Structure 1
């Protein structure tokens, strides 16, 4: 109808430049500018507390959403952006949404509470999500950019990465690395290439709290006094990854426990331990026990393959010597419901006479305790060639509650079950505290034959 005003929820007063004061008053410090100018599609700001990481990403997203980014080549608006943080109280009530509203001119946006989405006058949207949500809540959308504030769970990162593939979108990550050496460490220091450009996929800037010229040094020193140790200081104030926090095997020190390979003496006892899987890699650790009952892991096998191939590798890596102890996880002794066939008996048929490892209500924690004891007493050494085992030890962590529950409950006493298969196999062996016996006095054949198929007896 002529003369009728179009329904417009925005009341942006363009001539009122006072509304834009906070938008254009941002002067990035040296490290923030370096972050803004990184050319990679995945940009990482690993910073100490109060280093300016959240402010940098906040302005980066605002400039992108408005189509005025001075340092990055974002597509023209409207853009679909997403901010993901520790929990909704932080994201919606305390930090992220309030900061966006503080900086954006009044009348330039509308907040859709039911969708947790900020809609800008030019059609750009900024959606807010939380690490506490199920990973399925992140699927379905096509996005131009995702900003993770603080360390995200890997499954949530992976799902959001899928959201920007079709747009060639960007990922921003800002965090203080309090979880130590984990999957983020691997991502930050990876040599992966961007399939679109052939250039490095990840760019990172490490920022110290001292790099922020707006923070008083006296305030920094006061907070530093509350830190537990040098590792926490390195993370909280330098943005550096460290290895100790949350680790299961804190006693492990590569300088002590990792040794150069040497020929195994003929009179040492050879042992193997297997963590058997159907879908994950088969994990086998090869160890030698010396006359002082020290455990030396001299080799490993870690491949997704069938039992006959595993047995072939075992025979090669044991060098034709007698296997004094051969363990396998107890589940491998369970017959298949249809065939009656168990993995344990399949190993027997191929000449590897495995026996089930210890199993009990607290066997995992007990076994971890024994491994830690062996590490502390330097009774466990690992050859440098066992790279998968070493990597898994350095990343083996306790499971944690969600961000929302972390401060309300005692720490979990369960290790995170991800890429720990070689460590499980090693734990089976060390848990039994193997005692040295001259190989000539050991018996490797089972005391009686066990049929491959229990139903037929053959």
Structure 2
């Protein structure tokens, strides 16, 4: 019995330390991921608690680790990447994208139970703002067992710091969790130009038909949505056509 319980505990530990392996997207999430094969900019707009941040976290974990499942047909990177994940405030970034990617912010012993597998987290750098907030994570990319091909870097940002804090870096991707101001979005997109990288946006449109929302929607889609954000099960996945590097 002790051996059996020990095996169960080990299985649970491995499962909790590799949530990415268990990720199975529902239809709208799968459409959002697949659109990355042909679109640099993507939007997943849906009501609350419908898996937007989970989808963003799963995709970011795949790019950071190079661990793409057999069903994956979206954008793929064949080398280590530099990515940003951002929210409105430092606390919001900590409690949403950081939590989904790494694990509970206030429980460091649980880091590795998010979408980035525990064995892929090489190092973490603490931030200077909200308690438990991370500045960045170094992620093992590729390889297997004791052989690793390289390291990716994930950094966490917030909109409240202003556009100037978004300048200078060259990135493979920026994830906006919650709707950003247009100047922040444009600055983040610029960071990906040199790499032909990607931007993804996941949010419930509380600001109505803002400039960022309108970048992704056709005139017909705008008329269909009206001025009210989707509630309950209402959801929209949209993207902008591939433009190529600028």
- TM-score, with length taken from structure 2: 0.69
Task: Give yes or no for the alignment of 1:121 onto 2:140.
Answer: yes
Show CA shifts across 1:149-181 (max 9, x none).
111001101111110000000110111111112
Cα displacement (A) at 1:51: 1.3
Cα displacement (A) at 1:18: 4.2
Equivalent residue runs for 1:149-298 within 5 Å: 149-189=177-217, 234-237=229-232, 238-239=234-235
* Conserved? CA contact 1:117–1:125, under 8 Å: yes
**Secondary structure of 2:170's aligned partner:** coil
**Secondary structure of 2:84's aligned partner:** strand
Please name the residue that 2:79 is paired with. Answer: 77
Counterpart CA distance in 2 for 1:166 and 1:190 is: 28
* Conserved? CA contact 1:37–1:72, under 8 Å: yes
Which is bigger in relative contact order (C-alpha 8 A, separation at least 6)? 2
Counterpart CA distance in 2 for 1:105 and 1:73 is: 20
Pair 1:128–1:62, CA change in 2 (3 A): same
Q: Number of aligned residue pairs: give it.
A: 186
Structure 1 portions without partners, runs of 5+: 1-15, 192-203, 205-229, 241-458
Cα displacement (A) at 1:100: 1.3
Cα displacement (A) at 1:68: 2.4
Please name the residue that 1:29 is paired with. Answer: 26
**Secondary structure of 1:143's aligned partner:** coil
Show CA shifts across 1:288-335 (max 9, x none).
xxxxxxxxxxxxxxxxxxxxxxxxxxxxxxxxxxxxxxxxxxxxxxxx
Task: Give yes or no for the alignment of 1:108 onto 2:120.
Answer: yes
Pair 1:117–1:188, CA change in 2 (3 A): same
Counterpart CA distance in 2 for 1:107 and 1:152 is: 32
Cα displacement (A) at 1:76: 1.8
**Who wins on radius of gyration, i.e. which is larger?**
1
Whichever structure has more helix as a proportion of its residues is 2
Pair 1:30–1:159, CA change in 2 (3 A): same
Pair 1:163–1:190, CA change in 2 (3 A): farther
Please name the residue that 2:91 is paired with. Answer: 89
Counterpart CA distance in 2 for 1:99 and 1:21 is: 12
* Conserved? CA contact 1:66–1:77, under 8 Å: no
**Secondary structure of 1:56's aligned partner:** helix
Cα displacement (A) at 1:148: 0.5
